Chain A
Amino acid sequence: MGDKITVLNPVGFAPKVTRKELAPRLSTLEGKTVYLVDCRFDDSDVFLKQMQAWLAEHLPGVKTIFKPISSVYLNDDPATWEEIKARGHAAIVGVGH
């Protein structure tokens, strides 16, 4: 066992993280509009359409809208988010990888 030595930490500086509040949850999905937001990555559209079919079969009182994002998932899409906020009550976003 050698003598103790002092070395420097190689890790950078993380920014402070401020916790963001989640949106209030709905009391029920019945009668509400749920957007299925397609991230357009690795066949996520095929998957979300299956989820849309499940909702139609099991929760027919829920209106669903299949909505592909405008461009590639790396880009912000304020037009789509504004539409969902204006016309929808909730969103299911997928499929992240």
Chain B
Amino acid sequence: MTIESKYGVPTVALHTDKFDRVVRSVAAVNGMAGLRQVFVPQPVMGKSARELRAYVDGTDPLTGRPVMQEVVEGLTKPLDGDDVASVEYDRSTPRLVEPDSAEKLESLFLENCWTDMLPIVLPTEERVAAMLAGTRRKPDEVVGRMRPTHFREAWEYTVEKVAVNAVMAGARPEYFPVILALAATGVSARGSTTSSMAAMAVVNGPVRHEIGMNASTGALGPYNHPNATIGRAYGLLSQNCQGGSVPGLTYMGSQGNNYAYNSVTFAENEERSPWEPFHVQHGFQPGDSAVSVFIGCRSTAFTLGLREKHWREHVRNMLLGMDPHIPPTLLLDPITARQFIDRGGFVKKDALIDWLYDAARMPAGEYWDYQLVQNYLYPRATFGEEPWATKLKAAADELIPMFRREDIHVVVVGGETNGYWRIMGCTYQKTVTVDAWR
């Protein structure tokens, strides 16, 4: 779109047919509904040159017309009146929904894809007012902007909009500062990526105890009201405040992701951790309350404890099982956190991360052949961006680091019923204050 609108070069965009609705929608919201787009069958990935030549020789699966005829016409057929007019769209959102019975409103919310398909609490004016009492911030204050994908425009939302979604999720007013902080990150828990992402939210500081969050037994499961509803609110506010998360339109995750139901939301077990809390690592004081967000949460590996003889090999095997495009965050039960100190001498968390960085290596030839590495890291390497540019110089059989050191993280959570732990493949985004939203 940039090359067409900003540089004035007539352009045809090629897409696979599965992306019909989404790319037309993206073009429209970027003010270019008339962009010339031609479609070929999905997938292109993994097809041979001969098979892809058949795509070129074949027809657009959506129109039935020859692909190359559409390409040539897209570059040469004169524009019509709609393509040259300049129009502004006012897409303001009404504050209230047309009054109706609770039953019909619940159906309406479902039909509009405003829910996660589970029952919601209807956001009446009274309930939203009660939620708003959980912060000193004004209802009309802008909290942030969010979008489901890089190519879409960001939508804006206020404190009141966040409160509406918090009510729908079943959250209580005392949780609202944490929910506002999550909204303020601008990081969507409903990214549209075909890879089916989910978010993860880690809460630190006194607010964990003030609102009764769980960092102990079952913390990552459905056993604690604030953990469950804060995470659900994060998902709902993301999909609604960013303008939707509708499969085929604003959500393209091929398989979907169950973690998205509550965005893996939990408190860190600071009291039983042998290391400094996660938020302190990121510039906050121990007495501050903060929440950290990660995205990804597709690949996980798990095991029990660290065996004396082969713990290094076991951890390395787990790391090698992760896709090298998405870095690891270790979620350690306190038992295992202490085992890492006992076995490896990692008195400081940084020492453990150093070791993990060095342990996670694979032959360069294998690394560069991963599809996601090809899609996202190889282009950056060829552009000269480090550390990938240096990695690209390695011989095919040379062992190279799978991840950047700064992308590896460790969080302590669990109730010490046993030393189970897991690696979550996810990318740290940011840590933000909760206190500012009280």
Residues of chain A whose beta carbon lies under 8 Å from any beta carbon of chain B: 1-29, 34, 37, 40-44, 46-47, 49-51, 53-55, 58-59, 68-74, 76, 81-82, 84-85, 88-97
CA A42 – CA B194 in complex, angstroms? 12
Q: Mark interface residues in B2-17 (1 if CB within 8 Å of A CB, else 0).
A: 1111111111111110
Q: Which listed segment binds A: B67-75, B395-403, B420-428?
A: B67-75
Hey, which chain B residues are within 8 Å of A41, CB to CB?
375
The yes or no answer to B35 lying at the interface (CB within 8 A) is yes
CA A14 – CA B29 in complex, angstroms? 9
B155→A15 contact, CB < 8 A: yes
Looking at the assembled complex, report how far the CB atom of A7 sits from the nearest CB atom of chain B, in whole angstroms.
Answer: 5
B31→A17 contact, CB < 8 A: yes
The yes or no answer to B57 lying at the interface (CB within 8 A) is yes
B136-182 with Cβ < 8 A to chain A? 146, 150, 153-158, 160-161, 164-165, 168
CA A49 – CA B47 in complex, angstroms? 13
Choice from B10, B94, B102 contacting A24 with Cβ under 8 Å: B10
The 10 nearest A-B residue pairs measured at CB:
A94-B14, A12-B241, A42-B45, A71-B383, A12-B155, A12-B157, A20-B5, A14-B91, A96-B15, A10-B240
Most chain A CB atoms below 10 A, which of B4, B9, B35 = B9
CA A29 – CA B123 in complex, angstroms? 57
B100→A4 contact, CB < 8 A: yes
A47→B52 contact, CB < 8 A: yes
Please give me the residue from chain A that is nearest to B103 by CB atom. Answer: A2
A19→B168 contact, CB < 8 A: no
Hey, which chain A residues are within 8 Å of B160, CB to CB?
8
Hey, which chain A residues are within 8 Å of B44, CB to CB?
42-44, 46-47, 95, 97
Please give me the residue from chain A that is nearest to B381 by CB atom. Answer: A71
Hey, which chain A residues are within 8 Å of B311, CB to CB?
none
B32→A20 contact, CB < 8 A: yes
7 contacts between A and B (CB under 8 A): A4-B101, A5-B124, A6-B124, A9-B93, A22-B35, A71-B382, A94-B15
Q: Mark interface residues in B86-129 (1 if CB within 8 Å of A CB, else 0).
A: 11111111111101111101000100001000000011110010
Hey, which chain B residues are within 8 Å of A42, CB to CB?
43-45, 371, 375
The yes or no answer to B56 lying at the interface (CB within 8 A) is yes
The yes or no answer to B33 lying at the interface (CB within 8 A) is yes
B6→A81 contact, CB < 8 A: yes
A74→B150 contact, CB < 8 A: yes
Q: Mark interface residues in B44-63 (1 if CB within 8 Å of A CB, else 0).
A: 11111100110111000000
Hey, which chain B residues are within 8 Å of A37, CB to CB?
3
Please give me the residue from chain A that is nearest to B11 by CB atom. Answer: A91
Looking at the assembled complex, report how far the CB atom of B10 sits from the nearest CB atom of chain A, in whole angstroms.
Answer: 5
A18→B101 contact, CB < 8 A: no
Most chain A CB atoms below 10 A, which of B19, B71, B242, B377 = B71
Please give me the residue from chain B that is nearest to A41 by CB atom. Answer: B375
B65-83 with Cβ < 8 A to chain A? 68, 71-72, 75-79, 83
For the complex with contacts A24-B10, A50-B53, 7 further pairs of A-B residues with Cβ separation under 8 Å are: A5-B124, A11-B161, A42-B44, A49-B49, A54-B56, A72-B379, A96-B15
Hey, which chain B residues are within 8 Å of A96, CB to CB?
13-16, 19, 23
A25→B77 contact, CB < 8 A: yes
Choice from A1, A3, A44, A92 contacting B11 with Cβ under 8 Å: A92
B103→A50 contact, CB < 8 A: no
CA A81 – CA B8 in complex, angstroms? 10
Hey, which chain A residues are within 8 Å of B89, CB to CB?
16-17, 19
B105→A95 contact, CB < 8 A: no
A13→B31 contact, CB < 8 A: no
A92/B9 contact (C-beta < 8 A), A17-B91, A22-B35 known:
no
Looking at the assembled complex, report how far the CB atom of B305 sits from the nearest CB atom of chain A, in whole angstroms.
Answer: 39
A43→B46 contact, CB < 8 A: yes
Most chain B CB atoms below 10 A, which of A54, A85, A91 = A91
The yes or no answer to B266 lying at the interface (CB within 8 A) is no
Q: Mark interface residues in B375-419 (1 if CB within 8 Å of A CB, else 0).
A: 111111011010000000000000000000000000000000000
A95→B16 contact, CB < 8 A: yes
A81→B2 contact, CB < 8 A: yes
Hey, which chain B residues are within 8 Å of A7, CB to CB?
96-97, 105, 122-125
Looking at the assembled complex, report how far the CB atom of A66 sits from the nearest CB atom of chain B, in whole angstroms.
Answer: 14
The yes or no answer to B363 lying at the interface (CB within 8 A) is no
Choice from A22, A28, A34, A72 contacting B380 with Cβ under 8 Å: A72
CA A22 – CA B13 in complex, angstroms? 13
The yes or no answer to B243 lying at the interface (CB within 8 A) is yes
CA A28 – CA B160 in complex, angstroms? 54
Hey, which chain A residues are within 8 Å of B228, CB to CB?
none
Choice from A14, A26, A51, A72 contacting B153 with Cβ under 8 Å: A14
Looking at the assembled complex, report how far the CB atom of B142 sits from the nearest CB atom of chain A, in whole angstroms.
Answer: 9
B45→A14 contact, CB < 8 A: no
